[in-house]
Structure 1
Amino acid sequence: MLNTLGADVLLVEPIGGSSVRTLAPFAGDTPHPERSLPFVAWNRGKRSIELDLGTESGASQLTELARTADVLIESGVVDVDLAALREANPALVTISISAFGTTGPKAPWPATDLTVHAAAGQLLMTGDEDRPPVRTTEPQVFQHAAADAACAALVALAERDSSGLGQHIDISAQRSMLMATQSNVLAAPYRAPLFQRTATGHLLNGVHVQLIWPCKDGHVLVNALFGAPFAPFIKRLVEWAREDGFCGDDLVNEDWPSFGARVFGGETPIARHTYLKEVIGKVCEHRTKAELLQAALDRKLLIGPIATMEEVVENPQFAFRNFFELVTDPEISPVPFRAPGSPVHADTKYVPLGRSPRLGEHSATALRHWAPRTETPSREPGNRQAPFAGLKVLDLTWAVSGPYTARHFADYGATVIHVESTKGPDSARAVQPFLDNLALPENAAIYHNMNAGKLSLSLNMASPGGREVLDDLVAWADVLIESFSPRGRLALGLDYERLRVINPQLVMMSTCLFGQQGPMAGYAGFGNMAACLVGFFDLTGWPDRGPAGPFGAYTDYISPRYAFATLLAGLRESRATGRGQYLDFAQAESAVNFLSVAMLDYSVNGRVAARIGNDDPAMSPHGVYPCTGTDRWVAVACRDDSDWHSLAWLIGRSDLASLNNAERLERRGELNDAVAAWTGLRSPSEAEAELIAHRVPAHAVIHSPDIYSDPQLAHLGHFAEIPHPHHGSVTVEASRFGLTGTPSTISNGAPSFGLHTVDLLTETLGYDLDRIGELFSSGALD
Structure 2
Amino acid sequence: MENHGAPTLPLQGVRILSVEDYLQLPWCTVILADMGAEVIRVESLARVETRTMGPYPDNRPGQRFWDQGGIHHLWNRNKRSLTLDLTKPQGVDASKRLVAISDVVAENNRAGVMERFGLDYEALRQVKPDIIMLRTTGYGQTGAWRRYGAFARTVDAVTGLSHLTGYKGGPPVRANPSYMDITAAWNNALVILMALHYRRRTGKGVFIDMSMYETGISCIGVALLEYQTSGTYPPRMGNAHRWMVPHGCYPCAGQDEWVTIAVRTEEEWKRLCQVMGRPDLLEDPRFATYEARWANQDALDALIARWTRTLDKRTVMLRLQEQGIPSASVFHAKDLLTDPHFRQRGFFERYTHPPEVEGVGTRVYTVRPYQFSRSRGSIRFIARLGEHNRPVLADLLGYSPEAIAEMELAGVIGTEPVDAERLRPRPSPPEAQVRLGSSAFWDPDYRKVLALEEQQEGGAHDAQA
TM range, normalised to the smaller chain? 0.7 to 0.9
Normalized against structure 1, the TM-score is what?
A: 0.49
Which one of 709, 716, 719 corresponds to residue 348 of structure 2?
719
* Partner SS state of residue 170, structure 2: coil
CA drift of 1:435 comes to: 3.1
Q: Is the 8 A contact 1:413 1:745 kept in 2?
A: no
Which one of 698, 703, 709 corresponds to residue 332 of structure 2?
703
Aligned to 1:680: 309
Aligned to 2:460: none
Give the aligned CA root-mean-square deviation in angstroms: 1.7
Aligned to 1:580: 205
Does the C-alpha gap of structure 1 residues 415 and 536 become closer, same or farther in structure 2, counting only changes over 3 Å? same
User: Residues of 2 paired with 1:610 and 1:712: CA distance?
Assistant: 35
Aligned to 1:562: 187
Q: Is the 8 A contact 1:417 1:454 kept in 2?
A: yes
CA drift of 1:738 comes to: 2.5
Which one of 57, 82, 96 corresponds to residue 435 of structure 1?
57
Aligned to 2:18: 395
Aligned to 1:592: 217
User: Residues of 2 paired with 1:712 and 1:400: CA distance?
Assistant: 27
CA drift of 1:548 comes to: 2.2
CA drift of 1:536 comes to: 1.7
Aligned to 1:368: none
CA drift of 1:778 comes to: 1.6
Does the C-alpha gap of structure 1 residues 586 and 642 become closer, same or farther in structure 2, counting only changes over 3 Å? same
Aligned to 1:669: 298
Q: Is the 8 A contact 2:169 2:236 kept in 1?
A: no
Q: Is the 8 A contact 2:13 2:38 kept in 1?
A: yes
Aligned to 2:91: 466
Aligned to 1:341: none
* Partner SS state of residue 494, structure 1: coil
Q: Is the 8 A contact 1:559 1:588 kept in 2?
A: no
Q: Is the 8 A contact 1:509 1:585 kept in 2?
A: yes
Q: Is the 8 A contact 1:486 1:516 kept in 2?
A: yes
Q: Is the 8 A contact 1:452 1:746 kept in 2?
A: yes
Does the C-alpha gap of structure 1 residues 768 and 723 become closer, same or farther in structure 2, counting only changes over 3 Å? farther
User: Residues of 2 paired with 1:433 and 1:635: CA distance?
Assistant: 30
* Partner SS state of residue 609, structure 1: coil
Q: Is the 8 A contact 1:531 1:555 kept in 2?
A: yes
Q: Is the 8 A contact 1:399 1:447 kept in 2?
A: no
Across the two proteins, how many residue pairs are aligned to each other? Answer: 397
CA drift of 1:433 comes to: 3.6
Aligned to 2:175: 550
User: Residues of 2 paired with 1:552 and 1:431: CA distance?
Assistant: 15
- Within the alignment, does 1:741 sit opposite 2:363 as a pair? no
Aligned to 1:87: none
Aligned to 1:605: 230
Aligned to 1:643: 268
Normalized against structure 2, the TM-score is what?
A: 0.82
Q: Is the 8 A contact 1:614 1:623 kept in 2?
A: yes
* Partner SS state of residue 163, structure 2: coil
* Partner SS state of residue 674, structure 1: helix
Q: Is the 8 A contact 1:621 1:637 kept in 2?
A: yes
User: Residues of 2 paired with 1:622 and 1:758: CA distance?
Assistant: 57
Matches within 5 A, 1:184-223: none
- Within the alignment, does 1:622 sit opposite 2:242 as a pair? no
Aligned to 1:409: 32
Matches within 5 A, 1:131-170: none
Aligned to 1:731: 364
* Partner SS state of residue 614, structure 1: coil
Aligned to 2:388: 756
The aligned amino acid for 1:673 is A
Does the C-alpha gap of structure 1 residues 729 and 475 become closer, same or farther in structure 2, counting only changes over 3 Å? farther
Aligned to 2:79: 454
Greater alpha carbon shift after TM alignment, 434-443 vs 447-456: 434-443
* Partner SS state of residue 634, structure 1: strand
Greater alpha carbon shift after TM alignment, 545-554 vs 562-571: 545-554
CA drift of 1:432 comes to: 4.7
* Partner SS state of residue 82, structure 2: strand
CA drift of 1:550 comes to: 1.6
User: Residues of 2 paired with 1:442 and 1:539: CA distance?
Assistant: 39
Superimposed CA distance per residue, residues 460-519 of structure 1 (whole angstroms, 9 cap, x where no aligned partner): 111111111111111121011101111212111121111011011210100001100111
User: Residues of 1 paired with 2:70 and 2:53: CA distance?
Assistant: 8
User: Residues of 2 paired with 1:443 and 1:680: CA distance?
Assistant: 41
CA drift of 1:704 comes to: 0.4
CA drift of 1:705 comes to: 0.4
Q: Is the 8 A contact 1:465 1:778 kept in 2?
A: no
Q: Is the 8 A contact 1:393 1:477 kept in 2?
A: yes
User: Residues of 1 paired with 2:106 and 2:363: CA distance?
Assistant: 26
* Partner SS state of residue 510, structure 1: strand
The aligned amino acid for 1:548 is V
Superimposed CA distance per residue, residues 264-290 of structure 1 (whole angstroms, 9 cap, x where no aligned partner): xxxxxxxxxxxxxxxxxxxxxxxxxxx
Matches within 5 A, 1:236-635: 385-425=8-48, 427-438=49-60, 440-635=65-260
Superimposed CA distance per residue, residues 525-571 of structure 1 (whole angstroms, 9 cap, x where no aligned partner): 21111111101212211022222222312200111111111111111
Q: Is the 8 A contact 1:393 1:479 kept in 2?
A: yes
User: Residues of 2 paired with 1:510 and 1:419: CA distance?
Assistant: 15
Q: Is the 8 A contact 2:352 2:363 kept in 1?
A: yes
